[in-house]
Amino acid sequence: MTLAKPNRVYIFSTISFSSVFWHSFRNHSKVSFIARKTVQTMATKHWLKVTILRGLKFFGFFSVARALTNDSVRIICYHGISIADQAKFHPGLFMRLEVLAGRLKLLKDGGWPIISLNKAVSVIESGPITGAPIVITFDDGWKSIGDFAAPLLSQYGMHSTLYVTTYYVERRADVFNVALYYLFWKTKHTQLIVQKGHAAIDGTYDLTKGHAQVTARLIDFSSTHLTWQQRQEFLEQLAVSLGVDPIAAFAEGRFNVSTLDDLRRLPALGMDIQLHTHRHRLPNNSFDAMVKEISDNQQVLKTTTAEPLVHFCYPSGIYGNEHPDWLRACGVTSATTLEPGLNSVGSNPFLLKRILDRDNWSDIEFEAAISGLRELPHALWRRLKETQIIKWLNQY
Ligand SMILES: [Zn+2]
């Protein structure tokens, strides 16, 4: 969620993928056939995966994985709650509330201990970690999280962390690039005519082969030539040009982030507010530029919480080798990535791994992820190495 390039790596690639299928269905019978076959293959693979996971759970592999990795912290990552069809648009970015409610019930019924991020960082640094604890995090600060997720978590008595990007907190506008991608996902048009009076973007765009190039061009142009108010107007103009009703498309604040007043209500519901940069980008060419992103972020958020603003989440999960040291130098004490995995004692607190839950995961896929099934071979080997048998074998 930013005006410039950083989100491209994360959101852009996924949307481009969607668009290939979207236009294939509409415009090309041959491609449509291939796309249908591909979707069928994907559905078959998903069914097979779920069936195998059910079998593994039945035979106790989930319990074994949880027991062998109970000395690791799981940090789960969410973004926004889906209003209308956003979960279909981007299931990794928006989750239906009923799906999230199902996950929280699963965590409660499974006796998973939910701990704060503060506590997690403390035990990762100095141990001990016991009981396979879980941290729940939300990225970006979408309005829907304050409106729907926070009250739900509060009902369950579950603590969580909300990483907030603050540029749009101070501006009542839709998050431009996400709303833009949504319009292109939503449109049934096969071409777009732009007449903005700027040679950089004016022209007719063929949408039958995807929209990666046109969206990149429009975002680049808008971030350098338009004010945030002009970008909002441009979004509405684009919606009309793409045959999408702008009032319906942007209704209920579905592409808004929380206001300061919204954020101030969240700590009382057990949601800890933390850092995600001001403009959803993390400069890597200048320490001072990076510090400015953090300090601008802290400046906006300082009236929303009494807790220190010291935990950070890399925008779009992107970071460079220099960032852990730079973040430490400006007073940050932890940083989360989008790299999948668990965190044990001694893990780098500035490169914390997370589990990105998504709307199109079934409960069994989510349960497999938090059980540590993926880490089971490594955990098994690690535990075996601790036994006398392996030490004895190593002598020969
Ligand atoms: Zn983000």
Residue 19, pLDDT > 50, answer no
Please tell me the distance between residue 261's alpha carbon and the centre of ligand 1 in angstroms: 20
Residue 131 maps to a domain: yes
Number of domains within the chain? 1
pLDDT in tens, 181-226: 999 999 999 999 998 888 889 999 999 989 999 999 999 999 999 9
Task: Give residue 364 CA to ligand 1 midpoint distance, Å.
Answer: 26
Q: pTM for this one?
A: 0.88
- Read off the pLDDT of each residue in 226-235 and give the average, rounded to a whole number: 95
Specify the pLDDT at position 382. 80
| pLDDT top residue among 137 and 4 | 137
Q: Identify whether 52 is part of a domain.
A: no
Predicted confidence band at 391 (pLDDT cuts at 50, 70, 90)? Answer: low
Confidence grade of residue 35 (pLDDT, cut at 50, 70, 90): low
Ligand 1 center to 368 CA (angstroms): 25
Q: Is the pLDDT of residue 10 over 70?
A: no
pLDDT at 18 over 60: no
In a domain, 24, yes or no: no
Q: 313 CA distance to ligand 1 centroid (A)? A: 8
Q: How far is the CA of 315 from the centre of ligand 1 (A)?
A: 5
Confidence at residue 209, expressed as pLDDT on a 0 to 100 scale: 87
CATH number at residue 308: 3.20.20.370
- The rounded Å distance from CA 186 to ligand 1 centre is 22
Report yes or no on 137 lying in a domain.
Answer: yes
pLDDT at 11 over 70: no
Average pLDDT on 263-279 reads 98
DSSP tag of 259: P
Rounded mean pLDDT, 58-72? 96
Distance in Å, CA 280 to ligand 1 centroid? 6
Least confident stretch, 2-16, 50-64, 332-346: 2-16
Has residue 46 been placed in a domain? no
The confidence band for 291, taking pLDDT boundaries of 50, 70 and 90, is very high
Beta strand 271-275 pairing with 160-164: parallel
| Residue 271 falls inside a structural domain | yes
Residues with CB under 5 A from ligand 1 (ion): 139-140, 315
Task: Give the span between the Cα atoms of 352 and 348, in whole angstroms.
Answer: 7
pLDDT value of position 24: 36
| Helices 11-27/29-58 angle, 10° precision | 130
Whether 192 is in a domain gets the answer: no
Does residue 174 carry a pLDDT above 90? yes
What average pLDDT does range 344-371 have in this prediction? Answer: 97
Structure tokens at 310: 């010291």
Give domain status of residue 194, yes or no.
Answer: no
Determine the pLDDT at residue 384: 80
pLDDT at 292 over 80: yes
Per-residue pLDDT tens digits for 74-127 = 999 999 999 999 999 999 999 999 999 999 999 999 999 999 999 999 999 999
User: Which helix (H) or strand (E) segment is 35 a member of?
Assistant: helix 29-58
Is it the case that residue 296 has pLDDT exceeding 90? yes
As given in the structure block, the two tokens for residue 196 are 């903005």
Say what the pLDDT of residue 198 is: 87
For residue 79, report the distance from its CA to the centre of ligand 1, in Å. Answer: 8
Distance from Cα 27 to the centre of ligand 1, integer Å: 34
| 139 Cα to the center of ligand 1, angstroms | 5
Weakest-pLDDT range from 30-39, 286-295, 332-341, 351-360? 30-39
Q: Specify the DSSP element, H or E, that contains 154.
A: helix 150-156
Distance 384 CA to ligand 1 centre (A): 39
The mean pLDDT of the chain is 90
Domain that includes residue 121, residue range: 60-171+256-394
Amino acid sitting at position 85: D
On the question of pLDDT at 32 being above 90, the answer is: no
Phi-psi region of 203 (alpha: psi -120 to 50; beta: other; left: phi over 0): left
Q: Residue 22 above 60 pLDDT? A: no
Segment 320-342 mean pLDDT: 97
